[in-house]
Amino acid sequence: MKETLIRKSKHRAVLIVFLCFFFQLAISCATTGGKSIITEADIEPLSWSFETSYSHADYSLFALNAAAAEKNPLLNDFLNTLLYREQTFFSGQTAQEYLNNVKKAFVTWDREGHEENFAYEIRGKYLLIKRVYSGSGGSSYETAVSYIIDTELVKRLAVDDIIIDSGNAGLQGLIWNRLAALVENTNWITLDRNSFRRSMEERSFSIFFEGQNIVFHWDEGSLASNAAGAFDAALQRSDVLPYLTGIGREIIN
Residue-wise pLDDT tens for the chain (253 aa)?
Answer: 545 544 545 555 444 434 444 444 343 343 334 578 999 999 999 999 988 887 889 999 999 999 999 999 999 999 999 999 988 778 999 999 999 999 998 877 766 788 999 999 999 999 999 999 998 766 688 899 999 999 999 999 999 999 999 889 999 999 999 999 988 877 778 888 999 999 999 999 999 999 999 999 999 888 877 777 789 999 999 999 999 999 999 999 8
The matching CATH number, chosen from 3.30.70, 1.20.1260, 3.40.50, 3.90.640, for 160-252 is 3.90.640
CB 237 within 8 A of CB 155: no
**Class assignment of domain 40-157?**
alpha beta
Encode 19-51: b = buried (16+ Cβ within 10 Å), e = exposed. eeeeeeeeeeeeeeeeeebbeeebbbeeeeebe
Give the list of residues 6+ apart from residue 212 with CB closer than 8 angstroms, or none: 236, 237, 252
Query: What pLDDT is attached to residue 29?
Result: 41
Q: What is the DSSP string of 65-134?
A: -HHHHHH-HHHHHHHHIIIIIT-SS---SSHHHHHHHHHHHHTT--S-EEEEEEEEEEETTEEEEEEEEE
pTM beyond 0.85: the answer is no
Measured CA to CA in angstroms, residue 88 lies from 36, 92, 98, 108, 133 at distances of 31, 11, 12, 18, 12
Q: Do strands 231-236 and 213-218 pair parallel, antiparallel, or not at all (unpaired)?
A: antiparallel
CB 162 within 8 A of CB 247: yes
Task: For the sheet with 56-61, list strands across it.
Answer: 46-51, 56-61, 113-123, 126-136, 140-150, 155-156
Sign of the Cα torsion 18, 20, 21, 26 reads: positive
Query: What pLDDT is attached to residue 111?
Result: 66
User: Across-strand partners of 217?
Assistant: 206, 232
The residue ranges of every structural domain in the chain are 1-32, 40-157, 160-252
Any idea what DSSP says for residue 137?
Answer: S
Encode 52-79: b = buried (16+ Cβ within 10 Å), e = exposed. eeebbbbbbbbbbeeebbeebeebbebb
Query: What pLDDT is attached to residue 137?
Result: 67
Query: What pLDDT is attached to residue 9?
Result: 54
